Amino acid sequence: MRGSVDGLGSSAPLGMMLPAVFADDDLAQHFVAGLDEVMAPILNVLDCLDSYFDPALAPIDFAQWLSIWVGAETDGIESDARLRAAVAAAAALHRVRGTRQGLSEAVRLAFGTAPEITESGGAAWSARPRGPIPGSPRPQLHVALRLPDPTPADTHRLDALVAATRPAHMPYTVTVTVAERTLES
């Protein structure tokens, strides 16, 4: 949370801005020193304001608020690094929302691994009219994710993420399974 920081000096001390008649007045100097202590965090934030809008530099509580502001697909339990990556990628993901690429990237950002996506649709071009329509006539989407140690919460989280990022008209299913472990030599 933003707040006061003990001992934080002001970048613009008010005592230096007083008229010369108050330069040696201890009461006036102590009074404005108290105001400096209150104003220092505000001035410090304003001096560094551009850093607050960079997900890599922002304080983590501000990055959490920023994730809500930019519409990043987060659920509040991700690590700080994943939260920052989701905030940084939010604008690009909004451009591809509802596409296979957008869904895949959203799942990769949330879980750290790419999903296997199976869909019924397709696109094709034909020089002859009334050619076969690509894909299946029934729309469907299946997202499979392989995690090292999946939990029931992962399935719920994947379901919520797919529901939010899939094409609006597309029925879907999700599965989370154990990733195959390979022996390292």
Domain residues for the domain of 157 are 113-185
* pLDDT at position 81: 92
* pLDDT at position 3: 59
Give the pair of three-digit tokens for residue 125: 């071009």
* pLDDT at position 64: 93
* pLDDT at position 73: 83
- CA–CA dist 175, 169 (Å, integer): 20
Domain-embedded: residue 25:
no
pLDDT-derived band at 38, boundaries 50, 70, 90: confident
Is pLDDT above 90 for 124? no
pTM: 0.67
Q: Please, which residues have CB within 8 angstroms of residue 76's CB and are 6 or more apart in sequence? A: 64
What SS3 state is found at 87?
A: helix
Least confident span in 50-59, 82-91, 124-133, 143-152: 124-133
Domain-embedded: residue 106:
no
Domain-embedded: residue 139:
yes
- Residue 139 · residue 120 · CB < 8 Å: yes
**Number of folded domains that form the chain:** 1
